[in-house]
Amino acid sequence: MDHHKLPSLFSGLCAGLCAAILSTTAGAAQYSAQVDWSIQDQGVVGSVSTVAFSPNGRFVAYGYEFSREIFVRNAATGSLITTLSGSSGMGMTSLGFSPSGTDLAAAYNILGWSGVVVGGADFFQAGSTSPVNSAPTTEFVTSLTWSPSGTQVLTGSEDGIATLSDPVSGAVLLSVTHGSPIQSVAFSPDGLTFATGANDGVVNLWETSTGLLVRSLGAHLGSVSELEFHPDNIHLATGGGEALVDSSIKIWDYHTGAFVNDHSIQQEGVTGLEWVAGGSLLMSSDLSGIIRVSEVFTPVEVATIDLGRGPRVSSLDYHASSQRYAYGSSSGWMTVAHH
């Protein structure tokens, strides 16, 4: 893989970025976000806690930390397509489209005045604005992802349990115990392995078919807020979620557990990790409001995207073929932009 190959995402800025990539002394190129649309929905408060593009890039879905609603908009224009009403009375923590793009799953939580925490996962199908079924839990659900086949949904929760569910029936297929509150989950591209990242700084790798623990990575000093398997099905990126403890990004060979390198470039807790340029570059965001792009295996930072007015980025997603990235802020703004 040519790690100095410039992605089409930044093709219009070739001269500046090429200089940043090829020079070992030059700093990262800085650019302003080219915003397609930005909106703050009425009647909701809190941060945009989760955002996801549909596989075809036509739609973007997102949810707020203090709302049960999921908003689905045209990714190009921002026009509202539909609003989905989740089961919870509080907020969404994570959502994602199925690989086919016809279904959507969302993790939610309810925090009552008594301090009782309840959560679960909703499963929506095309044409339905309410869940076709739910998989409730007794703990705060923090993270969610689909299996590559679309036949399973993986969730992680504050009780340290990761659960594989059937999106059609909502039935629990398999559960594993991490041993610490889980903050992030991810599937390997081949679907044979899934990962859990938790408050103990450990990333556990599990066999999907049996739930057996394959290996553990002592990845971070604090919570592991983000996990992203590389398209090569060899490497795994992990993000630290605590500004004063560890907000670095690390790359691993997840088959052997070998550490590859450390991207110590974020400042206030990693909130998003996305591969760009076929996996030769890594886009990341944090609560300082900075989106950065760096080489994966060097690592050299090649671009810093200035979002203006310093919004604290609370969620991030990237769609390769449309060359758009979507980010939500802690102030409640949802934005889709491009370069």
pLDDT per residue of the chain (339 residues) written in tens, 0 to 9: 333 332 333 333 333 333 333 333 346 787 777 899 999 999 888 899 999 999 999 999 999 988 889 999 999 999 999 999 888 767 889 999 999 999 999 988 876 544 555 678 888 888 788 888 887 776 788 999 999 999 999 999 989 999 999 988 888 999 999 999 999 999 999 999 999 999 999 999 999 999 999 999 988 888 999 999 999 999 999 998 777 778 789 999 999 999 999 987 767 789 999 999 899 999 999 888 789 999 999 888 898 887 765 568 999 999 999 999 999 998 899 999 987
Please state the φ and ψ torsions of residue 143, each to the nearest 5 degrees.
-155, 155
Q: What is the β-pairing status of strands 172-177 and 103-111?
A: unpaired
**Could you give the CA distance from residue 130 to residue 178 in angstroms, rounded to a whole number?**
31
Longest Cα–Cα distance in the chain: 58
| Cβ–Cβ under 8 Å, residues 120 and 84 | no
Identify the three-state secondary structure at position 240: strand
Please count the residues of the chain.
339
Take residue 307 and report the two structure tokens written for it: 């979002």
Q: Which fold has domain 8-338?
A: Methylamine Dehydrogenase; Chain H (2.130.10)
- The single residue listed with the structure tokens 């002394």 is 25
